[in-house]
Amino acid sequence: MTTHPAARTMRATPEGLLWEPSERWVRGTAGDVTVVDSRHPLLVWEPRLPVPQYAFPRAEVRTDLLRPAQDPPTGRHTGSTVFYDLETGGGVRPNAARTFPAEDLAGHLAFEWFRRTGTGLDHWYEEDEEIFVHPRDPHTRVDAVPSSRHVRVGIDGTVVADTRSPVLLFETSLPTRYYLPRQDVRLDLFEATDHSTDCPYKGTADRYWSWRGGGAVPPDIVWSYSEPLPAVAAIRGRLAFFNEAVDLTVDGERLQRPVTPFSAGLRT
């Protein structure tokens, strides 16, 4: 059988890293300086990190702006990593770039992503679309599907939402999220907050609400995307609840509260 030339092949290194080539054009900027302009990036997964990162050939990086790190961190990444400070007209960004301790990845550099670590570059683009938080995982799928299921949400015995026209958001490795029409949610029982979060697959959740009723209910339990990314446009303006902290009933069946990577952060 002939393998399509665009087929991805996941490869492993002795250090426990996984990597595969990407065909996306990726750029990264610091201020008005383009530091990365790559048409041959690699996606790399570290054992302790659930999301991928990019590695770029040195020839596609402004290495003239990199200096050996003055105060390199320890224990943040796999193996013996060499760090570099980034020096531009806007100043020095410590530990912005690094190598990978793997022969397969020799000659490549990775950068910290500013919205995850507080350092690194300001903006990242795949083709002409800005991306946030971390690179999108090609093995993760996110689908927003309109439905006629009957969804009811309860908090401490109070029904706070009831609808028969949800949009179900299916995201690999996460529980189904139910995005509900605003008119079917008792927003009078909640208080708007100034919290916001970013997602590489959905965009910016720019509206959050907290429960007014007290009790052991985490803050910011409801969220909404005013301008989601085009791939999930069906959730625009709808409201979703953390399954981990509310009582969800779907078509008459009470769902168990899942344990997810978000569970630890849901604290009163």
Whether residue 6 is predicted with pLDDT greater than 50 in this model: the reply is no
Q: What pLDDT, on the 0 to 100 scale, is given for residue 214?
A: 84
Whether residue 268 is predicted with pLDDT greater than 80 in this model: the reply is no
- For the entire predicted model, the pTM comes to 0.83
Write the CA distances from 20 to 2, 37, 104, 199, integer angstroms.
19, 18, 11, 22
Q: How far is the C-alpha of 5 from the C-alpha of 19, rounded, in Å?
A: 17
Phi, then psi, of 248 in degrees rounded to 5:
-105, 130
User: What would the pLDDT profile of 56-81 be if each residue is shown by its tens digit?
Assistant: 999 999 999 999 999 988 766 766 68
Q: How far is the C-alpha of 110 from the C-alpha of 54, rounded, in Å?
A: 6
Q: What pLDDT, on the 0 to 100 scale, is given for residue 177?
A: 97
| Euclidean distance between the first and the last CA atom of the chain, given in angstroms as a whole number | 56
Token readout for 232 is 């999930």
DSSP 52: -
Q: Which amino acid is at 248?
A: L
Q: How far is the C-alpha of 251 from the C-alpha of 243, rounded, in Å?
A: 16
Q: Which domains, from first to last, does the chain contain? A: 11-131 (2.170.150.40), 142-265 (2.170.150.40)
Write the CA distances from 201 to 70, 111, 169, 237, 248, integer angstroms.
35, 20, 11, 16, 24
Scan for tokens 């969220």, then name that residue. Answer: 223
- Residue 165's CB is within 10 A of a number of other CB atoms, namely 15
